[in-house]
Amino acid sequence: MSLLALVYQLVPDSPILVAANREESLDRSCPNPTIQSGKPRILASFDPKTKGTYLGVNQRGMMAAAIPRKKFGSAIGTKSRSLLCREMLKCPTARAAVDMAVAQLHTDQYDGVNLVVADADSGWVIHSSTQTEVVELNPGLNIIGNYNLDDPRDGRVGLARRMLTLQTLDSPVKFLALASKVFARGVTEPGRPSMVLRESGYGTVSSTLIALGKKPRDAIYQYAGGAPDVVRYEDFSPFLRDILSRGLRENRIRATNT
């Protein structure tokens, strides 16, 4: 299980605001985000085992995430979903990433997954279980877990929506301040949904907060390398601002040379 909330094209100066908790086997390490060189540069926490990522941002200001889900009636996938997410981050646009991912999913080499990808121009979710479906993100708050987008069957989706709409999300600072509390919410009562999961050998292993604005200097990237109710978020914003600034400079150089 994992959970991701994305406020899309609601805040004028920050069209992409993200909060995400990743759940995994507790023996899987979650290294701090690093910059992957090459074109485009990517900032993400890369899985030491697969070399892929479950959430990242590239220098073009595009984010992509992979959330595992169950897949029925098929053999176990031979390729990691984290590798597909990393390949999406190499695409020039969110629309191009969708087309590439759908083509890959049709090879039936991956387990079930929800893929989220967004840039300033478009945002999408790909549901891949027994079938593959592409859904366009609506402006505003979008929340996805292990079912479909905003699926009422997921108790955490409903809880996250209720808590994230207690305030007006009209600035990245407000969203990130609220999301950091919401996604660090532990168990309050037995049987009630919580944001942080703890089960036998399995649970919340990391949490990420991202704000992508129109200007690189306004970008924010905060990461907790463990359950956020016990591990503090660290600030990796300088890394994100660096790759976004590089991307902006390269775009200007290309425009000058054409």
Position 76 pLDDT exceeds 70 = no
pLDDT class of 73 with cuts at 50, 70, 90: low
Amino acid at 16: I
More confident residue, 256 or 68: 68
Q: Is the peptide bond before 228 cis (omega within 30 degrees of 0)?
A: no
CB distance 41 to 250 below 8 Å = no
Domain boundaries of the chain, sorted by first residue:
2-257
pLDDT class of 77 with cuts at 50, 70, 90: low
Question: What percent of the chain has pLDDT above 70?
Answer: 97
pLDDT of residue 54: 96
pLDDT in tens, 147-201: 999 998 898 999 999 999 998 888 999 999 999 999 999 877 777 778 999 888 9
pLDDT in tens, 200-241: 899 999 999 999 998 999 999 999 999 999 999 999 999 999
Distance between CA atoms of residues 195 and 2, nearest Å: 9
Q: What is the mean pLDDT of residues 90-94?
A: 97
pLDDT of residue 251: 82
CB distance 206 to 223 below 8 Å = yes
Distance between CA atoms of residues 130 and 153, nearest Å: 18
Dihedral sign computed on CA atoms, order 224, 226, 228, 229:
negative
Give which of 66, 81, 154 is closest to 111, Cα–Cα.
81
State the CATH architecture for 2-257.
4-Layer Sandwich (3.60)
Position 125 pLDDT exceeds 70 = yes
pLDDT in tens, 52-72: 999 999 999 999 999 999 876
* Secondary structure letter of residue 217 according to DSSP: G
Position 127 pLDDT exceeds 60 = yes
How is residue 178 written in tokens? Answer: 């609220």
pLDDT of residue 75: 55
pLDDT in tens, 15-33: 999 999 999 988 877 899 9
Position 140 pLDDT exceeds 70 = yes
pLDDT class of 74 with cuts at 50, 70, 90: low
